[in-house]
Amino acid sequence: MMQEDPFDQFDEDESEALPLTGKRRLFSKELRCMMYGFGDDQNPYTESVDLLEDLVIEYITDMTHQAMEIGRTGRVQVEDIIFLVRKDPRKYARVRDLLTMNEELKKARKAFDEVKYAIS
């Protein structure tokens, strides 16, 4: 019986982007900037960034799984995330701020598009 190559699922360009550990690093650039912004060195150790990214991915995965178990099973909705963070004042406030900002951006884009099409 022939074993499948685990990298067959990737295109050639994607497989070259994988680090030697075999994991895709999705947030490295952003985490480096955040670490610097919070007082770390301008070029933090790669191991530190990788560890932090592993923690972030684990947190996102756990929250997503929890959100999928409440509300409509198998789907993640905004209300599910709000429900999960409701008892943590900092997270709840941040989610509220982000949702408010998202609505303001939608309104601004809509107003911009209306002005753009009214002039044309």
What are the tens digits of pLDDT across the range 29-52? 999 999 999 999 999 999 999 999
pLDDT given at position 98: 96
* Distances 30 to 37, 47, 56, 70, 80 between C-alpha atoms, Å: 10, 15, 12, 30, 26
Contact 63, 70 (CB under 8 A): no
Q: In this predicted structure, which of 13-17, 54-58, 67-71, 88-92 has the lowest mean pLDDT?
A: 13-17
pLDDT band per the 50, 70, 90 thresholds, residue 120: low
Q: Between the CA of residue 13 and those of 26, 29, 93, what are the distances in Å?
A: 15, 19, 40
Mean of the pLDDT values across residues 100-117? Answer: 89
Mean pLDDT of the chain: 83
Pairwise CA distance, residues 42 & 34, whole Å: 10
| CATH number listed for the domain at residues 26-74 | 1.10.20.10
- Who has greater pLDDT, 57 or 118? 57
What is the model's pLDDT at position 86?
Answer: 96
